[in-house]
Structure 1
Amino acid sequence: MSNSNSTSSDFIIVGFPGLQDYQNILFIIFLALFLVTFIGNITILLLVVADQRLHTPMYIFLWNLALLDVLMAVALIPKLLSVFLSHKTVSFTECFVQMYFVISFGATEIFLVAAMAYDRYVAVVKPLHYNVIINFKTCLTIIICVWVFGFIVPIVTVTTAAFLPYCASKEIMHCFCDYPAVISLACADVTFYANFTLCLAMVVVYGPLLFVLWTYCRIVYAVIQLKSAESRKKAFSMCISHVIIVLMYYISCAIVYIGLRINNISYDGRIFIGGLNYFFTPMVNPIIYSLRNEVCTHLSDLKLA
């Protein structure tokens, strides 16, 4: 793995070190994943903009989720495709810019999922007041806060990591500029930075999770109080897509957390597990919402028109 063409400030993204003989196959797989993710989410973006019937808070939140998934895919996969074509060098600035945006998009998505849970909570628990509580102004305020908080979260960690001295190996043992993989290359004690980042990640991930659990406890209790089975079925159907997204996201987080602590997993296995949230979730999100919401109906209407 030659480093002769790179400067002292460059990093080398290793990709999947044990699969060097399958670079062309990996290129095709990730190109297909990128196209599916991009087309699926762009379709939702265009559909929500074009159809006046979808200009409601739920679909505005969904529009932002699709936008985040597109941005995450664009931030990660094109560079990874170039790695498969043996263009493994990434400049210091490019690496930390990628790191910042990947963390920002991930944090924003976590906050957005919590906001969507609140939207479903009001829709089920306080249906008569829904249009008053979740009006356009409130929806816009929530979305702005979600994006602002998401982009504030990584500023300290990424900035401090950028000022660490990198004087040893420049080979990033991952398929993108992942924070732990990069700071492990610093020729300094990074224990404090790693622990601080872990604590911050726990707050960012599990704070919204506790809020989501609270909202769904209230939703379940409210649904149980409904007298008719049809009303209960309708109430649950309003939330099922969001429940699947939440479960998928946090189950994948758990798999990453557990998998990366199993000692006998290969580098390639660790890299694949570490990238699970970044590659799998953006591809599946539009599929879940398209199957469970009226998006499919509107898509069919547009095709027939």
Structure 2
Amino acid sequence: MESTGQYILWENHTTVMEFILLGFSAFPKLQGFLCGVVLIIYTTVLMGNSLIIIITKVDASLQTPMYFFLGNYSFLEICYVSVTAPRLLTDLLQLNRSISFTACAIQMYFFLVFGATECFILTAMAYDRYAAICNPLLYHLIMNNRLCVRLATLCWFSSIPIHIGFVYRIFSLTFCSSNQINHYFCDIPAVMKLACGDILMTKTLLYVLTLVVIVTPFILILGSYVKIISTILKLPSATGRAKAFSTCSSHLTVVILFFGSGSIVYLKPISSPSTGIEKIFSLIYTIVIPMFNPMIYCLRNKDAMAALKKLLLKCNDSKT
């Protein structure tokens, strides 16, 4: 056996021990600009979602199931974007884009866990809206504190054991010849393109996981909104219809953007050639949506805006 730094030679076969994240290296003149854009977006994500967490905790009028899940969702967005954005910023600032085998596996694991958690929380939020609009008289009995906590706990922890096994299987594959990942983070399709040998079983598991984590929650959400919209259309008051649509439109916008971009990436065949479009769609659901989350949920929500203004006034009064 002979060690060669990035590879280990074993019986005339080359096994990858380190990866190179190509990211956006094809655009060397744009590295500084891209770094500035990503830094602004990441800062906006941290500040905007932190504000949502604060107002849902301190404002008494927002102590409802909808804002309980929104607070969870905002905290999740901070965790989710922090898996990829800091590494992307580092790679845009330096020439050495190498990432160890272990670090790549850890990044992929947390990305998958937080991504699955986001799918589940968006589904729980859809169920909350369904209960509020389709069963308004029983809403507080259905969405009691115990159920909200149980749903949130299930969303946060249910995907942890599943993805441990799946990530272990991916990194148990043999990687040979090339160690260059044509992506800005260790995403499943990009890493699996480097695997050699028979990966049919791993591909099958990926599609099953996609069905469970992405497709099934999306179908449940769509089913909820079919019921919600049909109920809203039956409301006698135009004001009531407008208010109901307002509380649902923000969530539905995020659902379409997140699930739509994610499905394009994960339902695409692994063997298909990389066109670079995967990076664009990945940027949408890993960085762009977490940035717009506070704007979508606050700017279109009168209660959240009122709570935010109240918080800013308190901060201003405390300074004076």
Using the size of structure 2 for normalisation, the TM-score is 0.86
State whether residues 124 and 219 of structure 1, in contact with CA within 8 Å, keep that contact through their aligned partners in structure 2: yes
1:60–1:280 distance in 2 versus 1, CA, 3 Å:
same
The Cα offsets for residues 8-55 of structure 1, whole Å up to 9 and x where unpaired, read as 522111111311232111111111111111111111112222223222
2:89 corresponds in structure 1 to 81
Larger fraction in strand: 2
- Stretch of structure 1 that moved more, 168-177 or 224-233: 224-233
Root mean square deviation of aligned Cα: 2.3
Measured in 2, the distance between the counterparts of 1:205 and 1:164 equals 24
Stretches of structure 2 that go unaligned for 5 or more consecutive residues are 9-16, 315-320
Supply the AA of the counterpart residue of 2:88.
L
Structure 1 residue corresponding to 2:40, chosen from 24, 29, 32: 32
1:93–1:302 distance in 2 versus 1, CA, 3 Å:
same
Is structure 2 residue 80 aligned with structure 1 residue 72? yes
Measured in 2, the distance between the counterparts of 1:257 and 1:97 equals 19
2:64 corresponds in structure 1 to 56
2:149 partner SS? helix
2:159 partner SS? helix
Q: How far 1:112 moved relative to its partner? A: 0.7
Measured in 1, the distance between the counterparts of 2:174 and 2:261 equals 33
State whether residues 262 and 281 of structure 2, in contact with CA within 8 Å, keep that contact through their aligned partners in structure 1: no
1:7–1:42 distance in 2 versus 1, CA, 3 Å:
farther
Measured in 1, the distance between the counterparts of 2:281 and 2:124 equals 27
2:148 corresponds in structure 1 to 139
1:158 corresponds in structure 2 to 167
Is structure 2 residue 188 aligned with structure 1 residue 197? no
Measured in 2, the distance between the counterparts of 1:154 and 1:259 equals 20
Q: How far 1:196 moved relative to its partner? A: 2.0
- Stretch of structure 1 that moved more, 104-113 or 78-87: 78-87
Tell me which stretches of 4 or more aligned residues in structure 1 moved more than 3 Å: 4-8, 253-261, 263-267
State whether residues 58 and 119 of structure 1, in contact with CA within 8 Å, keep that contact through their aligned partners in structure 2: yes
Measured in 2, the distance between the counterparts of 1:93 and 1:117 equals 36
The Cα offsets for residues 197-253 of structure 1, whole Å up to 9 and x where unpaired, read as 022202321111111122112112222332222222222222121121122223333
1:292 partner SS? coil
1:154 partner SS? helix
Using the size of structure 1 for normalisation, the TM-score is 0.90
Stretches of structure 1 that go unaligned for 5 or more consecutive residues are none
Q: How far 1:149 moved relative to its partner? A: 1.9
Measured in 2, the distance between the counterparts of 1:257 and 1:93 equals 23
State whether residues 108 and 151 of structure 1, in contact with CA within 8 Å, keep that contact through their aligned partners in structure 2: no
2:181 corresponds in structure 1 to 172
Count of equivalent residues: 300
Q: Percent identity?
A: 35
Structure 2 residue corresponding to 1:212, chosen from 208, 212, 221: 221
